[in-house]
Structure 1
Amino acid sequence: MASFIIRDIRIFTGEQTIESGFIHIENGKIKAVGLASETPSISAKVISKPGHTLLPGLIDCHIHADKANPVALTQSLRFGVTTVCDMHNELHNVQRLKKQTLEPDTADYKTAGQSATIENGWPIPVITAHDKSPETAAEIATWPKLTDQKSVKEYLEWNEKEMQPDYIKLMHESGKGLGFELQYPTVELQKTIVDEARKRGYLTVAHATCLPDTLTVLEAGVNGLTHTIVDQAPTQELVKAYKKNNAWLNPTLAAMGSLTTEGQEIQERFAHDVRAEGLIGEKEKGNMCRCMAMAAATGKVQHSYESVKMLKSAGIDIVCGSDSAGPALGTAWGLSLHHELYLFVHKVGMTPEEALRSATSVTAKRFQFSDRGRLADGLKADLLLVEGNPLDDIDATLNIRGVWRDGVLCSAHKSKIES
C-alpha cells in the first residue's frame, strides 16, 4: 500500500488543533502527525492543501442498513463517514454487510446484530406497519423473543455465534411519546440482558424516546441511549439517572425533528445542498424531505434540544449518530450526520469543536474503538479533508475534498485531490 503525506493543512486530531500541519500515511495506518515545518523528507507522494482542514473520519454511531438498498456503506463513505454502527439488523443482512465492508469505497461496519426484543415489542410494530409482506412476517417470526434469563442467555449465545456483535442493543419503547401503546420489557428483564451481556464483555445500548422509558432502561444499567426524549421537558431526575450509570447519549436530533415534523425545513435544506449533488441518490434525497411524523401530536423537538443542553451541562458525553435508515423518512446515510452536527451547534449550543469530538474521539472512546476516532501515530488512516475551517463554521464539514478509509482514497473524491 502506498505511502503519502498531506501537508500545509489545519489538522483537528479529534482532541486538539494544529494550525499548519502534516500527516504521513503508510500501509493504511497513520505513521506521524505534526507541524508542517517538521514534514519528513522521504520518498512519498505529497499532497499540499492550504486552506483545508483534515479531520478523523466521522463515526455515525447509529444507522440501520436497509436490506433492500445496498448503498448505506457506500453513501456514508462519500460523506466522510468512515465507520457506521448498525443498531439492529437481521442475520442475512449482517452477513452481507460484513462482506460488503471488505470492498472498496465502503465505510467500516460495526453492528449490534439482532437487537434484544420481546413478542410484539419494538421494532416489530413499526416494521409491520410499513411492510405487510408474508416474507417479512416470516422473518420476524424467527427473531429471538426474550422472556427470562434462559431465553436471554440463548439469545446472546446465538447473536455472538452468528453475528459477532460489537455491542448489544436493547429496545425499551412503550409508545408513550409516540401516541400509541406497545408491549415493552420489564426492568427486571432488561437488567438480566445488561448483566448477561456484561459477563460476555459487551457494552449495552438502548432505544427509548420518552422520559419514563429512558429512566427505566437507565435503571437497568445500560451504557448509553440511542435516542433522547421527545415527549416532555427534561428533569433533574434524568440527569441523575445518566450520572448513576456514567451513561452517554446519542440524541438523534434530526430523527426527533422528523418524528415531530418540526425538522422538515432543515431536512429539505440539507437534501438540496449543492454540495451533496452526486453523493446521494434521488430516492434517498426524496426520503430526506419527508417526515416520519409519529410524534407530531405528542412530542416537541424542543424537548429533545433541551434534554441535550441539560445533560451536556451536567457533563454527560454526547455522541453523534443519525438513525439513518431506508424506511426512516427525514434521514439519509452520511448526509444526516452533517445535519446532526449542524443541530448540535445551532440548536443545543455546542461549539464546533465539541460537535466534531462527538463524531470522532468521544464516540470512539465510549464505544471502545481504540483504533480510530483520532489522528495519532499507529491508528487507522481514516481521514476527512474539507475546504475551509469547520472549527469556526460547522457547515464546512460538507465542503468535502477527500475521504480515506484505511489510507485508501474514496473514488468519489479522486478528482478533487488530483486537481
Structure 2
Amino acid sequence: MSPTLLIKDVRIFDGEREIPSGSVLVENGLVKQVVEGSLTAPDPATIVVSKQGHTLLPGLIDGHMHADVDDDGATLKQFLKFGFTTVCDMHQEAENISKLREQAAKDSDAADYKTASQAATVSGGWPTPAILAHDSSEETIARISAWPNIKTQADVEAFIQDRLNDKVDYVKLIHEDGNGLSMKPTLIPVELQKAIVESAHQHGLLAVAHALSLKGTIEMLQAGVNGMVHTFFDRPPTKEVIDAYLLNNAYCSPTLVTIASLTSEGLKEQKRYCEDPRAHKHLSDQSKKNLHRCMALSDSAAKAEYAYQSVRELKAAGIDIILGSDSAGPAHGTAFGLTAHQELAVLVKQCGFTPKEALRAGTALVAKRLRLDDRGRIAEGLRADLVLVEGNPLEDIDHTLNIQGVWKKGTLCSAYEGITA
C-alpha cells in the first residue's frame, strides 16, 4: 500500500480546470482531497511535497502505442519516466498480453497497460508491408503469419471471440488502402469491417480504426467506429469527412509526429527532442536511434500539412481530438513517452490548440473517450496518477518536459526519488 502523500502549494490542472495554488492529499493510492490553498499533513508519517512555481497534472495517457516485448520491460518503464501513467496498446500479439499486464500491475515503475490485443488483420494487409520494409527476417515473417487473417464472416466471429478471451479494453480495426503511401496493402472488405464493428458493439466494446487516407477514414467512420487512431495525410480534409465524424460522434487520435516521420518531414524536430537534456537521460539506445531516422513510407503527394489541416478543421467542428503517439520499438521517428510530449507541442504549434486544450487531450478527454473512468483527472476517489512539472505548461506546453516527479497510484517513480520527496 502506498504511503499517505500531500502535494501542496502548487498550481493544479485537474484535467479540466486550473487551480492557481492548491493541495492534493493522497491515501491508499487514491486522491483523498483536492483543495484551493494549503493543507496540513494529517499525520507525521505523511510524505509532504511543497513546490511553489510548479504545476501538478493528472498522469498523462498515451491513447495509441505499441509495446516492445523484447526490451525486458523497458517500454512501460520509459513511459512512466516521461509522466505517462497509462498507455493504450493498439496492436499486440495475444501471447504477450499477460506479461505486459503483470508488469503493469506489479511494478510501480511501469505505466499501467490497456490493450486491443491483436488488431483485425488480413494476410498482406497493414502493418505487414511496413514491418517487412525494415525487418524481413524469418522470425518476423513467422510471427506475422500467425496474425488473424480475416476473409469471411466466420473469421470475424472467431476474431471477436478471441478478443473476448483476451479481455481486451477495445477492438482495433485496420483499413489501410495505401493512398498516400509507397505501398498498397491488402484490404479487409468494408462489409467485414462493418461486421467487426457491429460485433464489438454487441459485446459492449469500443471499436477503433487505423486509416491514413481520406477515403479509408470515411469508410471506417461510415462503418460505425467510435474513433480513428490516425488522421489522414494524402489529401486535404473535406466536408464529407467532417460529417462522417459528426455522424458517429467519433474521436480522432491524429498521431501527427508519426505522420511527419512517414513523410520524412519530421527529422529535424525528432532530433531536437532527442537531444533535449530533459529527455535524453530517459531514452533507451533504441529510442535515440529511432529519433535520428524517419519511416519514409509516403508517396510524393502526401504531406504532414494535410494532417495538421485536418486536425484544425476537426477541432473547429467540435470533434474530440485525443493524444496518441503510435510509438513502437522499431518505428523510426518515435520514442516511448517522448514522442507523446512532442505530439502535445504539435497540437499547440500547428493545430491551434491552447496548451490547456492539449493537456486535456492527454488527460481527461482521452480517459473519457477510451472509457478509463478511474483516471485522467485529479479528483476525489480517482487513481492518484500524478505528474509534477516545474513551470507552467498551461502557458508554455514545452514545460511538460520539466518533470520533477511522477506518481502511479500514489507511489513515486524511482527515477525521481530524492528530487521531490
The TM-score with structure 2 as length reference comes to 0.97
Residue 420 of structure 2: SS of its match in structure 1? helix
Equivalences for residues 52-201 of structure 1 within 5 A = 52-69=54-71, 70-101=73-104, 102-161=106-165, 163-201=166-204
User: What is the match of residue 368 of structure 1?
Assistant: 371
Distance in 1 between residues matched to 2:281 and 2:272, nearest whole Å = 16
User: What is the match of residue 327 of structure 1?
Assistant: 330
Distance in 2 between residues matched to 1:125 and 1:406, nearest whole Å = 39
Identity among equivalent positions (%) equals 50
What is the deviation of 1:38?
5.0
The AA in structure 2 aligned to 1:78 is K
Which is further off, 118-127 or 362-371? Answer: 118-127
The number of residues matched between the two structures is: 417
Q: Is the 8 A contact 2:8 2:38 kept in 1?
A: no
Distance in 2 between residues matched to 1:45 and 1:406, nearest whole Å = 14
What is the deviation of 1:156?
1.1
User: What is the match of residue 16 of structure 2?
Assistant: 15
Matched, 1:253 2:256: yes
Q: Is the 8 A contact 2:29 2:383 kept in 1?
A: yes
CA displacement, residues 87-135 of structure 1 (integer Å, 9 cap, x when unaligned): 1011222222112212230000000000011221111222233222222
Q: Is the 8 A contact 1:179 1:298 kept in 2?
A: no
What is the deviation of 1:40?
6.1
What is the deviation of 1:41?
4.7
Q: Is the 8 A contact 2:389 2:400 kept in 1?
A: yes
Which is further off, 2-11 or 134-143? Answer: 134-143
CA displacement, residues 173-212 of structure 1 (integer Å, 9 cap, x when unaligned): 0111103222112211111000001111100110000101
CA displacement, residues 15-73 of structure 1 (integer Å, 9 cap, x when unaligned): 11111100000000000101124556544222110000000000000101123223210
The AA in structure 2 aligned to 1:51 is G
User: What is the match of residue 285 of structure 1?
Assistant: 288
What is the deviation of 1:160?
1.7
The AA in structure 2 aligned to 1:85 is C
What is the deviation of 1:8?
0.2
Unaligned runs of 5+ in 2: none
User: What is the match of residue 395 of structure 2?
Assistant: 392
Distance in 1 between residues matched to 2:34 and 2:357, nearest whole Å = 21
Distance in 2 between residues matched to 1:296 and 1:376, nearest whole Å = 46
What is the deviation of 1:235?
0.8
Distance in 2 between residues matched to 1:399 and 1:204, nearest whole Å = 35
Which is further off, 62-71 or 39-48? Answer: 39-48
**Quick one: which of 346, 352, 355 aligns to 1:349?**
352
Distance in 2 between residues matched to 1:292 and 1:217, nearest whole Å = 24
User: What is the match of residue 338 of structure 1?
Assistant: 341
User: What is the match of residue 310 of structure 1?
Assistant: 313
Which is further off, 149-158 or 9-18? Answer: 149-158
Q: Is the 8 A contact 2:8 2:50 kept in 1?
A: yes
The AA in structure 2 aligned to 1:146 is I
The AA in structure 2 aligned to 1:243 is L
Which is further off, 52-61 or 88-97? Answer: 88-97
Q: Is the 8 A contact 1:383 1:403 kept in 2?
A: yes
Q: Is the 8 A contact 1:259 1:296 kept in 2?
A: no
Q: Is the 8 A contact 1:5 1:25 kept in 2?
A: yes
User: What is the match of residue 7 of structure 2?
Assistant: 6
Distance in 2 between residues matched to 1:31 and 1:298, nearest whole Å = 53
Q: Is the 8 A contact 2:123 2:145 kept in 1?
A: no
The TM-score with structure 1 as length reference comes to 0.97
The AA in structure 1 aligned to 2:346 is L
